[in-house]
Amino acid sequence: MAQALKRSGASVTAVDTARYSEIFGQCWISLSACEINERELDDALNYLSNLPPVHGYFTETFCIESRFFQHHNGMRIDAIRNALEEQFRDSVLFPVLLTSLILASDRVDSTTAVHMAYLKKWSARSHKDLELRKPELLDGRGTTIRGNAIELAPQLGSFDFAYLDPPYNQHRYYTNYHIFETLVAWDAPEHYGIACKRIDSRDDTTKSDFNKKRQMPVALRATIQQLDARVLVLSYNNESWLTLTDLMDYCSSYECVVPLAFDSKRYVGAQIGIHSPAGVRVGEITHLRNVEYVVVAGPRETVRAMTEPYAHSSNEVLTASHAGALQRGELSLF
């Protein structure tokens, strides 16, 4: 979303607590493509791609002690990440090269998308060779902030448009993507459990109120209310802790609030059932689709213009999924 907004000419500020989000932000949002010498970038990618493999922390932890990556790729990741630290740390290319490495590792992992577990049998893609690709950089201005949105909301300044995409439940991004956190921190952390999660996952400082059922409503309401934005867009879904009417209520200081709803395929875990670390299915596939919400809040005319193209299909989904709330008058359709 941040990239799309930047591409459309906006000056974007991206906020997230994750280390890898900060690197992605530095690559695609803060940096302007015109600051980069294409030839230097190509040479650096070529150089890194041809480094001799090294057996280091990454290989030991994620290829031997666990099976997230095949050995040949783990050793290349160790070699490339070491070189980034030793030779490119102060270069303007650093976030671009590290983004390339993170995405390359993601294409050859042996998971179902998150790092909470690896597959019992190697995934087909894990057999491929790690390939560093050149991220497509964007021209323009932007700012990246690694920090807690709940605390930052009142200090960020004034925006024409704010998009909030908060976590949905208790599943933390810090642990779901712990290998990316370590690839960025490159701090060889002590780890625990079958998935070799970072030991600091247990620290309160790595936990977010958005992942705590009791704190989430208060935190989200405060974040929305303290943000200074002319138009606010909030995404969420119907399988989480807050109802659509809660979300709309949190936006009630805006002149107009319109809910949009989209029928959607559920996340990959729901498609394959829930498995124990030993690979035994412990949760059944219940249903395969859910409803994704997009709440749009702001001045009436702007909100109307933004939501009108989706109103028809959205209203059908809302009528099907929220008959009770519509009947009780808690929800009205656009």
Ligand X SMILES: C[S@@+](CC[C@H](N)C(=O)[O-])C[C@H]1O[C@@H](n2cnc3c(N)ncnc32)[C@H](O)[C@@H]1O
Interface residues with ligand X (CB under 6 A) are 1, 15-18, 21, 148-150, 165-167, 173, 208, 210
Which two three-digit tokens encode residue 116?
């909470």
Amino acid at 265: K
Of 220 and 317, nearer to ligand X (C-beta) is 220
Q: How far apart are CB 167 and ligand X at their closest, in Å?
A: 5
Torsion of CA 262, 265, 268, 273, to 10 degrees: 120
Other residues' Cβ atoms within 10 Å of the Cβ of residue 95: 24
Q: How far apart are CB 152 and ligand X at their closest, in Å?
A: 7
DSSP per-residue letters across 76-119: HHHHHHHHHHHHSTTSTTHHHHHHHHHHHHHHT--SSSSTT---
Q: How far apart are CB 300 and ligand X at their closest, in Å?
A: 27
Helix or strand (DSSP H, E) at 300 = helix 300-321
Question: CB–CB of 153/29 below 8 Å?
Answer: no
CA distance 144 to 149: 12
Which two three-digit tokens encode residue 237?
């879904």
Which two three-digit tokens encode residue 180?
């990316």
Residue nearest to ligand X (CB): 208
Of 79 and 233, nearer to ligand X (C-beta) is 233
Q: How far apart are CB 235 and ligand X at their closest, in Å?
A: 8
Of 15 and 137, nearer to ligand X (C-beta) is 15
Q: How far apart are CB 59 and ligand X at their closest, in Å?
A: 26
CA distance 48 to 172: 32
Residue holding tokens 């740390």?
A: 89
Pairing outcome for strands 142-146 and 12-16: parallel
Q: How far apart are CB 40 and ligand X at their closest, in Å?
A: 27
Of 48 and 102, nearer to ligand X (C-beta) is 102
CA distance 107 to 104: 5
Q: How far apart are CB 109 and ligand X at their closest, in Å?
A: 18
CA distance 51 to 81: 11
Of 94 and 236, nearer to ligand X (C-beta) is 236
Of 73 and 290, nearer to ligand X (C-beta) is 290
Of 113 and 323, nearer to ligand X (C-beta) is 113
How deeply is 108 buried, as exposed, middle or buried, from its count of CB atoms within 10 A (0-12, 13-18, 19+)? buried
Of 73 and 144, nearer to ligand X (C-beta) is 144
Q: How far apart are CB 210 and ligand X at their closest, in Å?
A: 4
